[in-house]
Structure 1
């Protein structure tokens, strides 16, 4: 038994629909195509950034673990995998700077031993370091989420534009049916139907990938934010072991 061939929509279909549309229908199609381009540019750029950041962070963490015993003496340029410091490197750098400031302050006010003063970090000091580094994490999360709001905007806007094109195409079709005695009525009806169907399809084709990409990126950024916080608390635990005063009471 010979199965009938199933027609597959191609770019020619949309080109013909665009050619047969009126000015307003063409404007809607161009707007949808513009949204599609914006969507894919942001999608590709964000995926590249998140993948690169995660990969460099893994390399940095591997290099860091071999030197974590001397955490405050680590040279960031030696363990960093690229010229630009990524979030994990910034977290360690921010912690080193803030811890150094607090240790210098405690050393200045230390009166326990004038010859070899011993310096410690109190619970308040550790909380101050944590708060300082959390602002660094918040900054990097905002950088990763920068311009991400455009994707949910496209998710909402594209179907509405497609619906607008659908309604407009049907309106043009009914207008052509009312003027069916005119010479170009058939082309007007076909153009209206083409606009209605093409804009509907375009709106959905744009919105569905944008929705999937947005949910994927939000989930990935959320996971990476948790990884940054885990790295911070790992650093704080080592810092506490090295500089926290032992309570003998």
Structure 2
């Protein structure tokens, strides 16, 4: 424990922080906060995206094992919500509502029991599927903009520390006489440390943001394919076909 404490106290970053003025300390703390925020968002969003994709694939496998129309499938409750289940359940609910309205308004008093979806109804179902998919993608991308913000802000904040460190160095050189090596080293330490911290913040944020955006974009394409399969299955079972 003592060795660890000595290592921290002898760290160039700690020395630069302890020897900097108030503005320098604020810049240091701001960069540390951005670093913590970046990793929290990366780990949280990454875990949720991977979990959603894996659970969605598992649900798709369960759905494939079922026979018959998707609207007749029961017992597919999910403990953990995943995008595929949300798309399936919302599409099923929306389609059943449309069929119920068609039965009430179109077949009332006719004595017929067949229920069909018109081409317009199919378009409504497909539009509803696209809306659900867009909402799921929005949920997966929640707070990712912060990573883009850190990517842009951290280098500038590090540059601010660099400029401020050099400025304080020249100020000390003009104000002090004799041996000014300590003042020069103190200012350069602040300048270089904040530059490094800015890059340490920006690089993981940039890589993580682009990776997660690409991962979610690919997953959104898979969701669109899944939604298209649902609409196609519903259309095959419930769209009325005119036979001449």
Question: What are the Cα deviations for residues 12-34 of structure 1, in whole angstroms up to 9, with x where unaligned?
Answer: 12112112222211111111000
Match of 1:70 in 2: 69
Question: What are the Cα deviations for residues 40-70 of structure 1, in whole angstroms up to 9, with x where unaligned?
Answer: 0000000000000001001000000011523
C-alpha deviation, 1:112, in angstroms: 9.7
1:149 correspondence with 2:122: no
Distance in 2, matches of 1:64 and 1:113, equals 37
Distance in 1, matches of 2:35 and 2:13, equals 14
1:87 correspondence with 2:83: yes
C-alpha deviation, 1:210, in angstroms: 0.2
After superposing the two structures, state which structure 1 stretch, 172-181 or 151-160, moved more. Answer: 172-181
Question: What are the Cα deviations for residues 68-111 of structure 1, in whole angstroms up to 9, with x where unaligned?
Answer: 52311223xx435x413221111111111111011111222344
1:201 correspondence with 2:196: yes
TM-score by length of 1: 0.88
1:48 correspondence with 2:43: no
Structure 1 stretches (4+) deviating beyond 3 angstroms?
109-116
- Unaligned regions of 5+ residues in structure 1, if any? 1-9
Match of 1:6 in 2: none
Cα 1:31–1:111, aligned 2, differ >3 Å: closer, same or farther? closer
TM-score by length of 2: 0.90
**1:119 partner SS:** coil
* 1:180-191 alignment runs, 5 A limit: 180-181=176-177, 185-191=180-186
Structure 1 counterpart of 2:171, from 167, 172, 175: 175
* 1:95-110 alignment runs, 5 A limit: 95-110=91-106
Question: What are the Cα deviations for residues 116-157 of structure 1, in whole angstroms up to 9, with x where unaligned?
Answer: 421111110001111122221111111111111111100010
**2:219 partner SS:** helix
Match of 1:232 in 2: 227
Taking only aligned residues, the RMSD between alpha carbons, in angstroms, comes to 2.0
Contact persistence 1:126–1:240 (CA under 8 A):
yes
After superposing the two structures, state which structure 1 stretch, 230-239 or 10-19, moved more. Answer: 10-19
**2:69 partner SS:** helix
- Unaligned regions of 5+ residues in structure 2, if any? 1-8
Distance in 1, matches of 2:108 and 2:114, equals 7
Distance in 2, matches of 1:79 and 1:162, equals 52
Structure 2 counterpart of 1:136, from 132, 135, 152: 132
How many matched pairs? Answer: 236
